[in-house]
Amino acid sequence: MSASAPGSATVDALLRVEDLRVSFPGKGWRAPRVEVLKGVSLDVRPGETLGLVGESGSGKTTIGRAILGLVPVRSGAITFAGERIDRVPARRRRELSRDIQVIFQDPYTSLNPSLTVGDTLSEPLLAQGYGAREARERVGGLLDRVELPADAAHRLPREFSGGQRQRVAIARALAIGPRLIVCDEPVSALDLTTQKTVLDLLVEIQERTGVAYLFVSHDLSVVRFMSHRVAVIHRGEIVETGEAAEVTAEPRHPYTRGLLLSAPVADVAAQRARREAFEREYGAAAT
Amino acid sequence: MSESAPAGAPAPPPAPPPAALGPARRTGAVRLLLRHPLGLASGAVLAAVVLAVLLAPVLSPAEPGVSSLRDAFGGPAAGHPLGFDSAGRDIVARLLHGGRNTLGGAVIALVVALALGVPSGLLAGYYGGWFDSAASWAVNLVMALPAMVVLLASRAILGPTVWVLMVVLGFLVAPAFFRLVRGIVASVRNELYVDAAKVSGLRDRRIVARHVLIVVRAPIIIQVALVSGIAIGLQAGLEFLGIGSGDTPTWGAMLNEAFKNIQRAPLLMLWPGLALGLTSGALVLLAAALRDVLEDRGAAPAARRRRTGPTTITAPRSAGACAGLLSVRDLAVSYALPGGGEREVVHGVDLDVRAGEIVGLVGESGSGKTQTAFSILGILPEGGRVCRGSVTVEGEEIVGMPERRHRELRGNVVAYVPQEPMSNLDPAFTIGSQLVEPMRCKLRISKAEATRRALELLRLVEIADPRRTFASYPHEISGGMAQRVLIAGAMSCDPRLLIADEPTTALDVRVQAEVLGLLRRLQRERDLGVLLVTHNLGVVADLCDRVAVMKQGRIVETGTAEQVLHAPQDPYTRKLLGAVLDHVPARRPWQPSNAEVS
């Protein structure tokens, strides 16, 4: 490991994001830029899952996209294995895809509907210079790894359910053996039972390969299940970071407390207590 | 570290090349086209025309330019089936060779248009930025030019050859391709699978070739058929006006010559006219057939909507009497299959909602919970119908009820809160007008009275500044606010039964908690019966008195929320509860030892 992390002043972080700012042009003539991330800092260690929790519009997805180079960074630094990657040339960015991969939220639009699963999976392999034959052989292994039948390679995405498609997306992310996978709400479009099996698969893969996850979600319980540490983002700023057990059970920041108290639990008595606490604290739905 | 690649799994049997599927799908499209009656006919006509024109030197009985004045206006003769034109030239020969020039001209125009329009459209759509602005500006300019005037001017400047004119024409129709390609590419660029390809390390060139071109292929083919028809027509028009290269035979030039002698030999107009008409007609029809085949592939033929549903109402009427507000007995819903026949998606559901009671209908996607809710509301989508069973609301049978009576019932007795608040508000109207209009229509009250009630409703659903929200457009309010507005709308005619289909699924948890609180308050204050369709067991625990669990169109378990959540009987319910992550322990803290083990 030490060979792959030259000048490891950053003790053991695989990914380090410091004071990241991202803004988009405002709508309309000379409108001010809309600042989506207002100085976000976080780090992910090798083999670790950092959960990133926030509501819609909090900027949690933008962090992932900035790390992947899909949105321009306004200021701040993103360091991966000791190397600045926030402003790298296109060629280096393509090389980085060996190490940094993604699983998107929507398994319906993240797979090209007109390509077979086999074509989709061999794409990253071909891009990294594998021969067509070798790529094809590895596709079989990938399907096996995400527990899909081998004949899935010849079928189109529309023949699969949401959970199966998400498995294909996971296989694509795993294809070149990355060190970090940005998981952008990977289970929020899935049914409850499917969600559980996909999460189990992700944990199992992590334990086997030592891949690190930046796990973006709006669901505290999903994040608790997946993460070693959790960061809470609110309106473009990280409001709280800590061990998963602490942040998701006894949060310190009032915003996180609100998130926790407003998430309903499938237990009538516990939920009644939780709801009363929420209404006491936030005065919502005055009766 | 690159050795940690995931293919450590046992070597799989080598798969046959995935590329083998590509051509198979394409022949599928061709076969579909041949099965399409219009496509087959127009394709055959075009193929015949093109073949004849290509084989002109072989087929034609004489040279097109050879004239014998003796035969001028001569009728059919041996070896000259259509006779001779005004200069004594063989008409068949002129048609065949003229077709070469006419179609060849169209091909030139097309090639120029494609070469200019498609690459620039791809670039502008994919990269956007300054090139997009500049290209779009230039294209708008070209489109603003009157084609005829430009063609006439270019003939004056560049000389009277058909080929040059066709190049100019290609330049003039290139914007059609540019705009088509740019529009499609710009929308594909934002697809997640293109982002995924970028993250996979693909070069832009490869992304365009693999992910983008596939999408624009079909529209381009269709556009080619249309544009070639236009090019042929325009070219013939120019030649007919005498603006072409004087002596090359073309269909337009033949028309022009025939027109000069229309008094003497009107039949001369017929042959070139027929050739032009057949070719352009076939092209337009082929474009239509291509559109059907390439763009709507897989779409089911629209099933005719059947108004009144049931074949049998099997439920005993007496059951409804005691059941209270809503009673569903043995409800089955089926959908017409595209190839005829029906598929049942809900198989005999029993469900009761009493006044003042919140009943949860829980299930995963495809379990039929929304279909059940839609049948109660009588708003099943096209092709769907209640094929069995009975639904009574306040003792009144809904299945088979005339649409007009059903419409009265909706709103006054039964109200609906949908899943996606934003897509259920019309972006073109203010919130206020969307609340006021239904009330004026349903309650027959004045506009002022309806406005007063609308503001009251907005206050009822805990909107802080009702007046401002009343005057806002849907895009100006948040999702949670929009859902409150829809609940206000549902409450506007004081219903007895509220059917809420995943009312909080699209909302953030904090907003969800508030909306759930609002629903609970409304239900208590107004003694409302609520049927809450949801997949979230936490929402059930929060709100519901009783729960019905649905799986594959059947109810597998019913009971109070406590019973179902704490002592589930059915294995499926247990499986659902087993997947709930509320009480799973957090992961153990990260250990450096498990970092990069391989």
How high is the pLDDT of residue B598?
Answer: 41
- Closest Cα in chain B to A95: B201
Q: Which of A124, A152, A177 is the last residue of a domain?
A: A177
A85 lies in the same domain as A214: yes
Q: Which of A153, A177, A201 is the last residue of a domain?
A: A177
Distance CA A7, CA B525 (A): 67
Q: Tell me: pLDDT of A17 over 90.
A: yes
Which candidate from B198, B509, B582 shows the least CB-CB separation from A267?
B582
A170 lies in the same domain as A186: no
Which residues of chain B fall below pLDDT 50? 1-26, 297-322, 594-598
Which candidate from A102, A227, A264 shows the least CB-CB separation from B199?
A102
User: Does residue B552 sit at the A interface (CB-CB below 8 Å)?
Assistant: no
A129 lies in the same domain as A70: no
Neighbours of A233 (CB within 10 A): 24
A12 lies in the same domain as A144: no
A118 lies in the same domain as A208: no
How many distinct structural domains can be found in chain A? 3
Look at B594 and A265 and tell me if their CB atoms are within 8 Å: no
Distance CA B202, CA A123 (A): 8
A187 lies in the same domain as A264: no
A31 lies in the same domain as A165: no
Question: Who's near A278: CB < 8 A, 6+ residues apart?
Answer: A258, A261, A262, A284, B513
User: Does residue B190 sit at the A interface (CB-CB below 8 Å)?
Assistant: no
Report the alpha-carbon angle A45-A46-A50, nearest 5: 50
Among B372, B390, B356, which Cα is nearest to B498's? B356
Tokens read off for B172: 């003039």
Q: Looking at the domain assignment, is residue A123 inside a domain?
A: yes
Q: Looking at the domain assignment, is residue A216 inside a domain?
A: yes
Q: Which of A154, A177, A200 is the last residue of a domain?
A: A177
Distance CA B286, CA B563 (A): 63
Distance CA A127, CA A140 (A): 18
Look at B195 and A248 and tell me if their CB atoms are within 8 Å: no
Question: Who's near B520: CB < 8 A, 6+ residues apart?
Answer: A285, B358, B543
Beta-bridged to residue B29, according to DSSP, are none
What SS3 class is residue A181? strand
Look at B539 and A264 and tell me if their CB atoms are within 8 Å: yes
**8 A C-beta contact, residue B55 and residue B47:** no
Look at A284 and B15 and tell me if their CB atoms are within 8 Å: no
- Residue of A80, A128, A192 to mutate, testing the B interface (most B Cβ within 10 Å of its Cβ): A192
Parent domain of A16: 1-99+179-240
Which CATH number covers residue A197?
3.40.50.300
A57 lies in the same domain as A136: no
Q: How far is CA B62 from the centre of its chain?
A: 53
Q: What is the mean pLDDT of residues A225-247?
A: 93
Report the alpha-carbon angle A259-A262-A267, nearest 5: 125
**8 A C-beta contact, residue A145 and residue A116:** no
**Residue B447 to residues B320, B438, B575: CA-CA distances in angstroms?**
39, 11, 53
Which residue type is seen at A107?
P
Q: Looking at the domain assignment, is residue A104 inside a domain?
A: no
**Residue A284 to residues A260, A277, B432: CA-CA distances in angstroms?**
15, 11, 24
- Strands in B546-551's sheet, in edge-to-edge order, are B414-417, B497-501, B529-534, B358-362, B546-551, B554-560
Neighbours of B75 (CB within 10 A): 11
Distance CA A156, CA A119 (A): 10
Distance CA B581, CA B570 (A): 20
b/e code B465-488 from CB counts within 10 Å (16+ = b): ebeebbebbbeebebbbbbbbbbb
Question: Do β-strands B358-362 and B529-534 pair in parallel, antiparallel, or remain unpaired?
Answer: parallel
- Strands in A15-24's sheet, in edge-to-edge order, are A34-44, A15-24, A75-80, A83-84
Of the CA atoms within 13 Å of residue B264, those in its CB half-sphere come to: 11
**8 A C-beta contact, residue B290 and residue B33:** yes
Q: Map out the domains of chain B as residue ranges.
A: 26-63+76-294, 321-426+494-578
Superfamily of domain B26-63+76-294: MetI-like (1.10.3720.10)
- Closest Cα in chain A to B367: A191
**8 A C-beta contact, residue B117 and residue B209:** no
Tokens read off for A181: 């996978």
Neighbours of A113 (CB within 10 A): 13
pLDDT band for position A32 (50/70/90)? confident
- Chain A residues touching residue B200 (CB < 8 angstroms): 97, 101, 123-124, 127, 172, 175
Q: Looking at the domain assignment, is residue A245 inside a domain?
A: no
- Chain A residues touching residue B521 (CB < 8 angstroms): 285, 287
Neighbours of A101 (CB within 10 A): 28
How high is the pLDDT of residue B323?
Answer: 53
Looking at residue B77, what DSSP letter applies? B
What SS3 class is residue A261? helix
A205 lies in the same domain as A120: no
Look at A109 and B192 and tell me if their CB atoms are within 8 Å: yes
Q: Tell me: pLDDT of A285 over 70.
A: no
Kindly write down the DSSP assignment for every residue of B306-360, as one continuous string.
PSS--S---S-THHHHHH-SEEEEEEEEEEE-TTSSEEEEEEEEEEEE-TT-EEE
User: Does residue A168 sit at the B interface (CB-CB below 8 Å)?
Assistant: no
Q: Where are the alpha helices (DSSP H) in B190-264?
A: 192-199, 204-207, 213-240, 251-260
Among B88, B94, B83, which Cα is nearest to B72's? B88
A132 lies in the same domain as A159: yes
Looking at residue A27, what DSSP letter applies? S
A143 lies in the same domain as A234: no
How high is the pLDDT of residue B115?
Answer: 95
Tokens read off for B428: 């073109």
What SS3 class is residue B90? strand
More confident residue, A126 or B245: A126
Helix (H) or strand (E) holding B488: helix B479-491
Q: How far is B158 from chain A (nearest CA, A)?
A: 44
A159 lies in the same domain as A57: no
How high is the pLDDT of residue A172?
Answer: 92
- Residue of B191, B199, B212, B584 to mutate, testing the A interface (most A Cβ within 10 Å of its Cβ): B199
Q: Tell me: pLDDT of A6 over 50.
A: no
Q: What are phi and psi of B500, to 5 degrees?
A: -115, 115
**Residue B282 to residues A172, B47, B275: CA-CA distances in angstroms?**
45, 10, 11
Q: Looking at the domain assignment, is residue A259 inside a domain?
A: yes
In this complex, how many residue pairs, one in chain A and one in chain B, have their CB atoms less than 8 Å apart?
286
User: Does residue B217 sit at the A interface (CB-CB below 8 Å)?
Assistant: no
**8 A C-beta contact, residue B213 and residue B204:** no
Task: Say which CATH topology domain B321-426+494-578 has.
Answer: Rossmann fold (3.40.50)
How high is the pLDDT of residue B246?
Answer: 64
Tokens read off for A46: 């090798």
How high is the pLDDT of residue A46?
Answer: 93
Which candidate from B11, B211, B538 shows the least CB-CB separation from A264?
B538
Distance CA B356, CA B378 (A): 22
User: Does residue A9 sit at the B interface (CB-CB below 8 Å)?
Assistant: no
More confident residue, B256 or A66: A66
- Chain A residues touching residue B17 (CB < 8 angstroms): 132, 136
Q: Where are the alpha helices (DSSP H) in B413-465?
A: 431-443, 447-460
- Closest Cα in chain A to B510: A262
Neighbours of B224 (CB within 10 A): 18
Distance CA B89, CA B466 (A): 84
User: Does residue B578 sit at the A interface (CB-CB below 8 Å)?
Assistant: yes
pLDDT in tens, A134-190: 888 889 989 988 888 888 899 988 888 888 999 999 999 999 889 999 999 998 888
Tokens read off for B118: 């498609």
Distance CA A57, CA A52 (A): 13
Q: Looking at the domain assignment, is residue A7 inside a domain?
A: yes
